[in-house]
Amino acid sequence: MARQVQEETSVAKSSLAEDGRKADGAAGAGAPTDLESLRRDIDGIDERIVDLLAQRYRKVQEVVGLKKAQRLPVYHPAREENLISKRREQAEAAGLDPDHVEELYRSILRQSRVRQSVQVPRTGVRAGARVLLVGGRGQMGQYFGRWFSGAGYEVRVLDVEDWGRAGELCAGIDLALVGVPIERTEEVIRQLAPRLPGQCVLADITSIKKGPMEAMLAAHPGPVVGFHPLFGPTTSTMEQQVVASVPGRADEECQWVTDQWAAWGCIVLPVAAEEHDKLMAIVQALGHFATFAMGDFLCRRDADIGRTLELSSPIYRLELGMIGRLFAQDPALYAEIILASPERRGLLLEFVDSLGHHRAMLESGDKESFRTEFQRIADWFGPFSEQAMRESNFLIDKLVGRF
């Protein structure tokens, strides 16, 4: 009996083993078929992704046409950041990595900008035209002189020592670009304008716009436009550099100058003079003065910069780097920017006074008040805080890789 059971068990085991081998064989035979099916599905999805990118590109071309017709800039920073934020939210809801989706969309948007920009020639929009750079021996004047010359323009320079030849230098010019110290800009415009040909475009590159625009419109009956390049003479490329553009008079006749900025890769953003000056008081004057004040405080305390860097986080190095960057540049330039107008100085005095609002909290060590104020400000910043976190993390990662 025992022997019979043993034999039956042995047969059963053999049968199970055979069934197992058959099953394994069936699975092995079926696996490639299933894998190929999945791969075909993925290929189909990839094809649809490319088709969708092509559809997106065609829509972008329609947008380009509208932008050209309405003279709108290629790059719209707020629109792009809103789009990125929405795609990140969509990625999280879909169980995807938001950082990966953001990287993908930044690549798509960057390519879209490139495709839009290349439709404007990179060479001179009006090669051969005569450009007069007023203040052309200054740093910014020399910088733009290289760019205009490289684009095929005839460049002339009118600086302090050249006013005896002003009539000769102004003869037949197509663009007079004023780039002199802020406090001298309006006076120079009044001296220059009577010497200009009637159809010459008169423009400036001053960081304050209301006064210079009024001066140009009053002194010159021809085309007038104001610009403010938000970059300095150490910039190696104009690609994606922002230039504020303030309309003045005869926009059609000024358009080629705006197109030239775009041809160099700049982001030209139209703005009214009053709005520009209010925004620049915050972007430039307040930002630079706050940085100046931090550097001044460290200097007065004689802080050991090297030692703090040894014990610092990457974000501190980044913040200190921005402070050090300011003091590596021309003090006269920043004196002009920060103290340029009574409005700017008034804003900075308001900022200094605002620091005193927190004195009682510091003296008492009131953490609850700090938390309340912190949350109030965080609520005001809203979604931008998350965007700022992502962007600063990107910079920190780059900085860590460097050091």
Residues 135-148 have pLDDT tens digits of 999 999 999 999 99
Report whether pLDDT(2) > 50: no
pLDDT given at position 12:
44
What lies within 8 Å, CB to CB, of 375 at 6+ separation is none
What pLDDT is recorded for position 121?
45
Tell me the per-residue pLDDT of 285-311, one tens digit each, with 9 for 90 and over: 999 999 999 999 999 999 999 999 888
Is the pLDDT at 115 greater than 80? The verdict is no
Mean pLDDT of 333-339: 89
What local confidence, expressed as pLDDT, does residue 263 receive? 86
Is the per-residue pLDDT at 392 higher than 90?
no
* Residue 190 confidence (pLDDT) above 80: yes
What is the predicted pLDDT for the residue at 232? Answer: 85
Query: Among 139, 136, 147, which residue's Cα sits nearest to residue 330?
Result: 139
Predicted TM-score (pTM) of the model is 0.66
391: confidence class by pLDDT, cuts 50, 70, 90: confident
Give the pLDDT band of residue 10 (cuts 50, 70, 90). Answer: very low
181 φ/ψ angles, rounded to the nearest 5 degrees: -50, 145
Q: Is the pLDDT of residue 14 over 80?
A: no
> How much is the pLDDT for 166?
95
